[in-house]
Amino acid sequence: MGPNHSTIRRILSDPGRSSYEKYRDLTVGDLGFPGFAAYEAVSSLLGPFPGALGIVLRQKIYPRFFRKCGKGLVVGRNCTIRHPSRISLGDNVTIDDNTLVDARGAGGNGVVVKDGVIINRNSIVQSKSGDIEIGKSVSLGANSVVVSWSGIRIGDGVRIAGGCYLSAGRFDFDDPAMNIAEQDGYSTGPIVLDENVWIATRVTILDGVHIGKGSIIAAGSVVSGDIPPLSLAHGNPAKVVFTRR
pLDDT at position 7, please? 55
Q: How many domains does the chain have?
A: 1
Three-class SS of residue 48? coil
Task: Give the chain's radius of gyration (CA, Å).
Answer: 18
The total of other beta-carbon atoms located within 10 Å of residue 243's CB is 12
User: CA 46, 141, 127, 72: dihedral to nearest 10 degrees?
Assistant: -50
The Cα–Cα gap between 154 and 197 comes to: 9
Does residue 188 contact residue 210 with C-beta atoms inside 8 Å?
no
CATH number at residue 148: 2.160.10.10
- pLDDT tens string, the chain, 245 residues long: the values are 444 545 566 666 777 788 888 888 888 877 778 888 999 999 999 999 999 999 999 999 999 999 999 999 999 999 999 999 999 999 999 999 999 999 988 888 999 999 999 999 999 999 988 899 999 999 999 999 999 988 999 999 999 999 999 986 666 677 787 777 676 666 778 999 999 999 999 999 999 999 999 999 999 999 999 999 999 999 999 999 999 88
CA atoms lying within 13 Å on the CB side of residue 97: 7
92: left (phi over 0), alpha (psi -120 to 50) or beta: left
Whether omega before 237 lies within 30 degrees of 0, making that bond cis, reads: yes
Say what the pTM is. Answer: 0.89
Domain extent at residue 50:
5-243
pLDDT at position 243, please? 94
pLDDT at position 169, please? 67
Angstrom CA distances, 75 to 46, 47, 97, 191, stand at 10, 9, 7, 26
Does residue 160 contact residue 141 with C-beta atoms inside 8 Å?
yes
Which of 16, 15, 10, 28 is closest to 185 using CA atoms? Answer: 10
Alpha helix (H) residue ranges in 29-118: 33-46, 51-61
